[in-house]
């Protein structure tokens, strides 16, 4: 991905809140309503959910939607430093701002990110069809404050790491997938949903090779999580995002295949995938013997008698 991937500063833009929905009988809120009550932009709210900072519950109406319990809203509001601390904890920055926070050059910042030392929390595809990676500001500060990382922030990059970069190493997509899988597993309330979360990061050919039963594959598809939206379906941006969301490194593919096999086995043990019911074959209708049947029966008995006579 290093050939068509760039990073630069881009603060998360506000998304329209849209029409809010009322609370349900149990007091839970729709995401738009919850974001407003917490003083967050929708993009900030979604990232907080992604990071596990805001807990969600399944929507009783189904459809894979999630809601936020009223008790969760109150818990967050009672947190220390609310709302500033909550917003600061989900602040995502790009390369320019991230490098400034760490007091390093943009080039060094990008090298650290490609080496997997800085883990992106989200990405988007810009109008130039290039991937823009965003990172948590808090995590960048923590990295820079750790004295063990001082050699990486100043001086020459160690030779072994320079060689890996020269060979095109870029761990940003892989580390984002790992983080995204953690989010999907936290949201999964069903054993088949957990298996589908793992399957969502594998090429369909790999999934078919691991899950040979067509009914189980079909059941997995029902629980497959919706991918993050990046452009209209089939657009260059959507295809590039799909490439990022699909494991490519052989060792990553291997451990995902193993995890998928284990997850399907666990799901199968708890609740087998549904299969079409076998329809019983109806018995032929009863009918009365006809004169033709009697003649045929007589001929058969005569033939049988002659055969037995010859053998004796």
Domain limits, the chain: 1-169, 188-270
Of residues 233 and 283, more confidently modeled: 233
Dump strand ranges (E) for 28-105. 57-58, 66-67, 92-93
> What does the pLDDT look like over 189-219, one tens digit per residue?
899 999 999 999 999 999 999 999 999 999 9
| CA distance readout (Å), 126 to 131, 133, 209, 212, 241 | 7, 10, 35, 38, 11
57-58 and 92-93 strand pairing: unpaired
Q: Using CA atoms, how far apart are residues 87 and 89, in angstroms rounded to an integer?
A: 5
In whole angstroms, give the CA distance from residue 311 to residue 49: 88
Tokens standing for 39? 């003083």
- Whole-angstrom distance, CA of residue 138 vs CA of residue 102: 11
Q: What angle do CA 248, 251, 252 make, to 5 degrees?
A: 55
Share of the chain above pLDDT 90, in %: 67
Burial pattern 209-244, b for ≥16 Cβ within 10 A else e, equals ebbeeeebbebbeebbbeeeebeeeeeebbebbeeb
Using CA atoms in the order 257, 258, 260, 263, what is the torsion angle rounded to 10 degrees? 180
Q: Are 47 and 12 in contact (CB under 8 A)?
A: yes
Whole-model pTM: value is 0.78
Confidence band, pLDDT 50/70/90 cuts, at residue 229: confident
Tokens representing 282 are 């109806």
* Residue 3 scores a pLDDT above 70: no
* Sheet-wide strand order for 92-93: 92-93, 131-136, 122-125
Q: In this structure, what are the phi and psi dihedrals at residue 143, rounded to the nearest 5 degrees?
A: -65, -45
Q: Is 58 helix (H, G, I), strand (E, B) or coil?
A: strand
CA angle (293 as vertex; 287, 294 as ends), nearest 5: 120
Digit-coded pLDDT (tens) for 132-160: 999 999 999 999 999 999 999 998 888 99
DSSP string across 4-34: GB-----PPPP----------TT--B-HHHH
How large a percentage of the chain has pLDDT more than 70? Answer: 79
């Amino acid at each position: 991905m290093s050939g068509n991937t760039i990073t630069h500063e881009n603060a998360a833009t506000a998304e329209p809140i849209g029409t809010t929905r009322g609370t349900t009988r149990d007091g839970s809120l729709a995401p738009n309503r919850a974001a407003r009550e917490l003083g967050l932009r929708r993009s900030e709210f979604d990232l907080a959910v992604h990071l596990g900072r805001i807990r969600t519950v399944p929507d009783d109406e189904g459809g894979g939607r999630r809601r936020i319990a009223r008790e969760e809203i109150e818990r967050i509001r009672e947190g220390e430093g609310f709302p500033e601390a909550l917003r600061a904890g989900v602040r995502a920055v790009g390369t320019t701002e991230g490098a400034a926070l760490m007091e390093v050059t943009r080039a060094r910042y990008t090298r650290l990110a490609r080496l997997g030392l800085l883990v992106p929390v989200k990405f988007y595809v810009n109008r130039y069809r290039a991937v823009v990676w965003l990172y948590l500001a808090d995590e960048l500060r923590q990295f820079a404050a750790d004295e063990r990382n001082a050699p990486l922030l100043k001086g020459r990059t160690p030779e072994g790491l320079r060689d890996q970069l020269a060979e095109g190493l870029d761990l940003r997509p892989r580390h984002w997938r790992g983080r995204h899988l953690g989010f999907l597993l936290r949201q999964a309330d069903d054993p088949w949903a957990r298996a589908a979360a793992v399957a969502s990061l594998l090429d369909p050919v790999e999934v078919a090779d691991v899950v040979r039963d067509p009914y189980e594959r079909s059941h997995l598809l029902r629980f497959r999580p919706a991918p993050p939206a990046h452009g209209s379906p089939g657009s260059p941006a959507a295809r590039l995002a799909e490439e990022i969301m699909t494991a490519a490194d052989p060792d990553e593919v291997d451990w995902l295949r193993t995890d998928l096999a284990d997850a399907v086995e666990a799901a199968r043990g708890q609740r087998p995938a549904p299969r079409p019911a076998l329809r019983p074959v109806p018995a032929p209708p009863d009918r009365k013997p006809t004169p033709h049947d009697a003649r045929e029966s007589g001929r058969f008995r005569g033939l049988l008698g002659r055969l037995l006579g010859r053998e004796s």
